Amino acid sequence: MNRFKLIITLLNIPRLLLHILFYLQKRNICRDDVVVQLKHRRLHCSELLGFMYILVFDKTYRNLFYWRIGKLKYLCYYWLPPHPCFVIGINQNIGKGVLGIHPYGTFVNAEKIGDYFSVKNNVTIGYNKTDRPVIGNNVTVNANAVIVGGISIGDNSIVGIGSVVMKSVPANCVVVGNPARIIRRNGIRVNETL
């Protein structure tokens, strides 16, 4: 962390007091999100200082943090508003260690999301008519992907750039295309339809 950003972070402590209090109250839920964010940015600092830094400089992380703390978020909006272009739906179960990498124009509304989920920009995850997808652990969804319906994305899978996924994806697969097809399964190159 460079000195300028460190100074800006420390100067924002009065604005962050409520955030810090809620973070400490929900620390067991929020800790892994902060650790993943710090690893992604290659920052080496304490967890609490890292949390403050990310909250000040990453508007999209605020959306995840506010989703984690629930109704308490309304006390924090005035000091640090959330980003309007990253929407996390309500009534879903999200695992630990979520990483949004420039998730602008992203809408996430799954039935369940596993641990260590990574999402990029312009992604849509949601309903088709009645059902929402279930996302496994260690899943990465790349830019401009669309995942809809009552399907499941298996553990350790990757959804490629611009993919449209409307059928379930097995574990340990890489899918690409519209309609999506499997191009790698368990590390072996294949060409299978879903």
pLDDT tens track for 119-173: 999 999 998 888 999 999 999 999 999 999 999 999 999 999 999 999 999 999 9
Give the end of a domain, one of 75, 96, 121: 75
Would 165 be classed as within a structural domain? Answer: yes
Would 110 be classed as within a structural domain? Answer: yes
Give the end of a domain, one of 75, 100, 135: 75
pLDDT for 178: 92
65, 129: one domain? no
Task: State the total domains in the chain.
Answer: 2
pLDDT for 194: 85
Q: Report the CATH number that the domain containing residue 176 is assigned in CATH.
A: 2.160.10.10
What is the rounded CA–CA span in Å between residue 85 and residue 9? Answer: 23
What is the rounded CA–CA span in Å between residue 128 and residue 68? Answer: 25
CB environment 87-126: b (16+ within 10 A), e (fewer): bbbeebebbbbbbbeebbebbbbbbebbbbbbbbbbbbbb
92, 172: one domain? yes
pLDDT for 23: 92
Would 81 be classed as within a structural domain? Answer: no
98, 176: one domain? yes
What is the rounded CA–CA span in Å between residue 115 and residue 101? Answer: 16
134, 167: one domain? yes
37, 9: one domain? yes
8 A C-beta contact, residue 135 and residue 112: yes
Would 119 be classed as within a structural domain? Answer: yes
30, 69: one domain? yes
Domain that holds residue 145: 86-180
The answer, yes or no, to whether residue 37 has pLDDT greater than 80, is yes
Would 187 be classed as within a structural domain? Answer: no
Would 189 be classed as within a structural domain? Answer: no
What is the rounded CA–CA span in Å between residue 92 and residue 51? Answer: 24
Give the end of a domain, one of 50, 75, 100: 75
61, 17: one domain? yes
What is the token pair recorded at 190? 């294949």
Would 192 be classed as within a structural domain? Answer: no
Would 116 be classed as within a structural domain? Answer: yes
The answer, yes or no, to whether residue 74 has pLDDT greater than 80, is no
Prediction pTM value: 0.87
Which pLDDT tens digit goes with each residue over 23-32? Answer: 999 888 899 9
21, 58: one domain? yes
What is the rounded CA–CA span in Å between residue 183 and residue 187? Answer: 10
